[in-house]
């Protein structure tokens, strides 16, 4: 029996739904809160360092009437929820808008990026 693993995802910003663009793709960068850098020394031993890092959610939403772009691009301390077609849910909390606010009039899309504390539910 086949299982659904890809398809439409749903995004909410502070509980408000937004329509996914036609390409249907949201990118999730999940760091687990740290960024690791591995190094190999001349004697062959491996070491690494850790620094705090944040997760990101980016993609495109459809430019439907009534979207408050100002509200999105100045957003701080918001919660982003993405539910994938396979039922998995990713939550980005304590996040802020870190994108460039690009709108494509040809495609009718608004590009977004939020960064914050990510977790899978």
User: pLDDT of 31-78, one tens digit each?
Assistant: 888 888 999 888 888 899 999 889 999 988 888 888 888 888 888 999
* Domains within the chain, CATH numbers bracketed: 10-120 (2.40.30)
- Which tokens hold the place of 45? 């031993």
User: pLDDT of 66-117, one tens digit each?
Assistant: 888 888 888 899 998 888 878 888 899 999 999 998 999 998 889 999 999 9
pTM: 0.80
98-106 long-range Cβ contacts below 8 angstroms, 24+ apart:
98/56, 99/58, 99/73, 101/69, 101/72, 101/73, 103/63, 103/69, 104/60
- Which tokens hold the place of 23? 């390409």
Q: Is 4 helix (H, G, I), strand (E, B) or coil?
A: coil
105 neighbors 93 (Cβ within 8 angstroms): no
Gap between the Cα atoms of 56 and 61, Å rounded: 16
């Amino acid at each position: 029996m086949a299982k659904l693993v890809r398809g439409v995802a749903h995004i909410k910003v502070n509980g408000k739904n937004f329509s996914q663009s036609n390409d249907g793709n949201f990118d999730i960068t999940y760091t687990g809160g740290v960024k690791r850098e591995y190094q190999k020394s001349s004697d062959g031993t491996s070491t690494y360092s850790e620094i705090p890092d944040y997760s990101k959610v980016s993609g495109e939403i459809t430019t439907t009437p009534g979207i408050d772009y100002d509200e999105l691009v100045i957003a701080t301390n918001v919660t982003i929820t993405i539910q994938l077609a396979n039922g998995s849910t990713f939550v980005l909390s304590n996040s802020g808008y870190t994108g460039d606010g690009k709108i494509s009039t040809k495609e009718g899309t608004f590009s977004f990026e939020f960064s914050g504390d990510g977790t899978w539910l």
